[in-house]
Each structure stands twice: as structure tokens, then as C-alpha cells.
Amino acid sequence: QADAAFAAKEYYIAASFYAKMNYILSFEEISLKFISVGEQDALRTFLLRRLDNLTKDDKMQITMISTWATELYLDKINRLLLEDGTGTTTNTVTNSNSSAYRSVVDEFRAFLSDSKDVLDEATTMILLESYGRVDELVYFAGLKEQYEIVVHHYIQQGEARKALEVLQRHNVPVDLVYKFAPDLIMLDAYETVESWMMARNKLNPGKLIPAMMRYVSEPHAKNETHEVIKYLEFCVKDLNNEDPGVHNLLLSLYSKKADESQLLQFLDTKFGSGQANGPEFFYEPQYALRLCLQAKRMRACVRIYSMMSMHEEAVALALRVDLELAKAEADKVEDDEELRKKLWLKVAKHVIEQEKGVKRENIKKAIEFLSETNNLLKIEDILPFFPDFVLIDDFKEEICKSLKDYNSQIEQLKAEMDDATRGADNIRSDIGALAQRFTVIDREEECGVCRRKILTVGGLHQVGRSYTSVGHMAPFYVFPCGHAFHANCLIAHVTRCTSQVQ
């Protein structure tokens, strides 16, 4: 039947019959018959039918036949492209109006899907590449979970969204996300950042920093850094990320913005305040200070100096920016009165030097500054800052006020000294009175413990379960309430009670 069909040039029918033969003609002989008549399609049909009749134990033969069938498919696709009249082997299906072409491509893809486990991966990819079938190469790579090839292809085609969709699959290694992050963010920053945000804690933002830094360093990205800022803010605020690198990068981007408000707000936020003994911030203060100085963000520099407890530097810099800011910084120091006064003196000196000249209104304005220090500074503290030739009349009112304050303090100290003197006199009187104090005891007064008379000749008297000796006119205690006790009895009783409590 096979030979008859072959002789009648019914090659597809002959191929089906030949595929069922396991004797008479060898596989090679049958293949040569189809090759000799140039029937590549019938040969492909023979190979596919032969694969259906092989068992799983024929692994080597299955791989070889599948590889040969792959090459025949590729040859058929190329011949159809040439027959289309374009004279080119364009890779896109849309360039061919042949339904036969589309049918063969779909059939080939189905074959690749069915044979992915038996085809040699490297050999198949070389074949696909040599025939210029990039789409099928990407398709096969996806079947073999070679996602790196797939993503690289989509990036080359400028299809960032498709590449990101591949990377979002659950079985794709996360390392590929980090590897292609620089290319993807350059290709489509919005889609890339959205993809990162969807991944949430599956990604380590620290490993994405090189990609973000490369993006923001590009000239075209100067006005588009908001996408990187958006992701970093998401990491810091929503994911509570504590990576110093993430915080440092976000701070550096804030420092480059014309509006300083976001930078100041970031510096004021205590990201670690929810942790026990945790840091208030995770960026590096020295790095932040260097950035802000380079960007001339002076208010931010003042804030950082203050955070680092460098109050003198903070006030000195604040005086170059805003007097009110300097006053606020000087007032922040509450636990060190000496330092606080020193800072206010810096501010006072600046105010006086600012009001140049010896006009009365300028001097008056400088003196009025004293009231803002909450009596921390006096007129004598700021006098050295005024010119030597200023008339004393200009300070008369303030000097009189200062003298009046000193007088009040002296009067208060005097009153305190008088109170102390009276207290000492009272103590001396009490001590003298103690020597003259006495009490009258009745001859029949009994000891509150042993019930013997206080003034009776002693002996041994029982106190609880023990005995105590009370001699003639033994020492005794008399309390203001009138109770009296032999000294030995009282001591024994108190000792016994104390032992019971313990």
C-alpha cells in the first residue's frame, strides 16, 4: 500500500503507511525515497507519524527525529515566505498574506510545545536562530523557562510591558528582575516602577539602587525623577524599609528639587520611632549634610546640625539664613543652661551687628531683643557688643531695669537669710529647752512590759518566754504619753517583736 501510494505520487498517504512499517524498509531508506523526489512535506509527515509510533524508551531516536522535523518545519516556513512574492524572509507573520504560512507557523509552534521535553535545547535554539525565527526562538525559550532570553528579546524590541509581564511570573527567578532593571527603567520608567511596587516585599529595593541611580543620572531624566522618588517613598513609608542606601538615595533626590519642603519634611520624620531603642532615622547624617551643603539647602543643613547635637554650628548657619530660625534653634537646648546662653549670645551679637550705627532707634531695637530671651540675657551680657562711643543715656532705661532686678534679687536673698537666722535661733532655743525638760513619775508607776514598778528593786522578770534583769533603779524610758518602761524590758520586747515580723 505504501509503495502503491508512493508510485501514484500520493506522498502524504505513502508517508502514513511507511511510518507504520518496522521491517522490510529501514528508516533511512524510506527517508531517502522522499528526499529523492523532493517531497520535504511528505518527509515531515513521515517523521511526525513515526514519532507517534515510537515508545518512550526510544529517547535518542525521538530526539533525532524531532530535531529533523524542526528543521523541515523551518525550511517549509522560509519557502512559504519566498513563495509569497516578497523575496524576503521577514520574521513577522503580518508581512505575509498566505494562510498557508500562518497555518504552518501555528502547527510548528504546537509541535515545539508538544516536543519541548524531547528536543535538545541548545541544538533547537541554534536552528531557530540560524533560520532567523526570533519569534519562535522566544516562544521556545518560554517553553523551556529560559526567561532571560525572552526578556532580553522584548527589551530589544522596546516592549517593556511584555518583558515586565514575564518577570512577574511566580516561577521567574527574582535575580532576573535585578539584572534587567537598568534597561527596563530606561525603557519605560512608569511601567517598571509600577511593576516593582506590585511586587512589594518580594524585591529588595537595595538591589535596585544601581538601576535607579543610572536612570536619574541620565540628562533626559532630570525632570522625570518623580518615578524613582515615587518608588523610594513607597519603600520607606509603605514597606517601612530601613536600608540606609534607600534613605540616602531618596534624600539626595529631594536635595536636588527646587522646593525644599519635601526635604525638610523627610528630615523631620522619625521613621524608626516605632521601635524599642531604634534609631529615629536611617540615612547617614554626614552624607546628608554633605549633600545639602553642595545643593545649598541651608535650612536642611541647620536641621541636620541640630539632629547631630551640633547646636553652635546650627545657630551659626541659621543666622546666615533666617534670624527667626536661629532663635528657634537656640531655644531648643533645654538641658544645658550654659550652652543655651552661649547660643543666645551669638544671636544677640548678630542682631546688634545687624543694626549698624549709633542711632537711638537702632540701639533701642537691639536692646528690645533682650525680652525675647526670657530673661536669660541681661544688659551687661550684650554691652560688649556695642561700640565704645555709644552714649550711656541710650542704655539708661535698661540699666535701671537691670539694677532694679538685681536689687529685687538682693532683697530676696536678704529675706531668705533672715529666715535662716530665725530658724537657727529656734533650733538653739529647742536644744537649750531640752536640758530643762522633766516629767513626774508616781512611785507606783508600773513598767508597761513586766508590770513591775519602775522604781522597785529589780531581779529577774519574765518578758514573754524569756527573763530580763532589772536592778535597783535600773534605767527606764518615759514617753510624753505617760507610759514608762524599763530599758532592758523595752529592748527585749522590741527585739522579740522584730524577730516575729521577720
Pick from 272-286, 327-341, 471-485 the range whose average pLDDT is largest. 471-485
Contact 248, 242 (CB under 8 A): no
Separation of alpha carbons 392 and 483, rounded Å: 75
- pLDDT higher for 348 or 175? 175
Query: Is residue 315 exposed (0-12), middle (13-18) or buried (19+ Cβ within 10 Å)?
Result: buried
Digit-coded pLDDT (tens) for 84-126? 655 444 444 444 446 888 888 888 888 888 888 888 878 888 8
Contact 267, 307 (CB under 8 A): yes
Of 187-196, 290-299, 386-395, the least confident: 386-395
What average pLDDT does this structure show over 250-274? 81
Contact 452, 461 (CB under 8 A): yes
Phi and psi torsions of 84, nearest 5°? -70, -15
Q: What is the DSSP letter of 453?
A: B
Separation of alpha carbons 451 and 468, rounded Å: 13
- pLDDT higher for 22 or 198? 198
β-strand partners of 469: 460
Residue in the block written with cell 529533523: 68
Virtual torsion, Cα 21, 25, 26, 30, nearest 10 deg? -90
Separation of alpha carbons 265 and 68, rounded Å: 67
Supply 134's cell numbers: 526570533
Phi and psi torsions of 169, nearest 5°? -65, 145
- The DSSP string of 392-410 is GGGGHHHHHHHHHHHHHHH
Q: What pLDDT was estimated at residue 194?
A: 92
What average pLDDT does this structure show over 45-54? 77
Q: What pLDDT was estimated at residue 400?
A: 63
Separation of alpha carbons 352 and 369, rounded Å: 9
Separation of alpha carbons 147 and 153, rounded Å: 10
Give the chain's largest Cα–Cα span: 158
Residue in the block written with cell 524610758: 477
Give the closest residue to 141 by CA, choosing from 157, 131, 156, 126. 126
- pLDDT higher for 139 or 358? 139
The rounded mean pLDDT for the chain is 77
Contact 126, 141 (CB under 8 A): no
Q: What pLDDT was estimated at residue 198?
A: 92
Q: What pLDDT was estimated at residue 360?
A: 46
Separation of alpha carbons 468 and 479, rounded Å: 21
Q: What pLDDT was estimated at residue 462?
A: 55
Using CA atoms, how far residue 471 sits from 108, 194, 228, 478, 492, in Å, is: 127, 101, 99, 17, 15
Separation of alpha carbons 298 and 291, rounded Å: 11
Above 70 in pLDDT, residue 143?
yes
Above 50 in pLDDT, residue 331?
yes
Separation of alpha carbons 134 and 145, rounded Å: 16
Above 80 in pLDDT, residue 468?
no
Contact 318, 326 (CB under 8 A): yes
Give the closest residue to 237 by CA, choosing from 282, 302, 182, 171. 282
pLDDT band for position 237 (50/70/90)?
confident
Separation of alpha carbons 483 and 493, rounded Å: 15
Contact 142, 172 (CB under 8 A): no
The residues, any chain, with a CB within 8 Å of residue 24's CB and separated by 6 or more, are none
Separation of alpha carbons 356 and 380, rounded Å: 19
pLDDT band for position 268 (50/70/90)?
confident
Of 80-94, 185-199, 305-319, the least confident: 80-94
Of 16-30, 182-196, 252-266, 408-422, the least confident: 16-30
Separation of alpha carbons 350 and 360, rounded Å: 18
Q: What pLDDT was estimated at residue 459?
A: 55
Using CA atoms, how far residue 367 sits from 183, 202, 351, 390, in Å, is: 64, 62, 9, 13
Q: What pLDDT was estimated at residue 87?
A: 47
Above 60 in pLDDT, residue 223?
no
Q: What pLDDT was estimated at residue 93?
A: 45
Query: In percent, how much of the chain has pLDDT > 90?
Result: 7
Q: What pLDDT was estimated at residue 490?
A: 92
Separation of alpha carbons 360 and 357, rounded Å: 9
Supply 396's cell numbers: 539708661
| Domain edges within the chain | 338-411, 459-501
Q: What pLDDT was estimated at residue 96?
A: 44
Give the closest residue to 128 by CA, choosing from 91, 170, 159. 91
Separation of alpha carbons 314 and 88, rounded Å: 73
Query: In percent, how much of the chain has pLDDT > 70?
Result: 72
Using CA atoms, how far residue 240 sits from 89, 193, 247, 260, 271, in Å, is: 54, 17, 11, 23, 8
Supply 294's cell numbers: 553642595
Separation of alpha carbons 378 and 399, rounded Å: 9
The residues, any chain, with a CB within 8 Å of residue 48's CB and separated by 6 or more, are 69, 111
Contact 488, 470 (CB under 8 A): yes
Of 160-164, 434-438, 457-461, 487-491, the least confident: 457-461
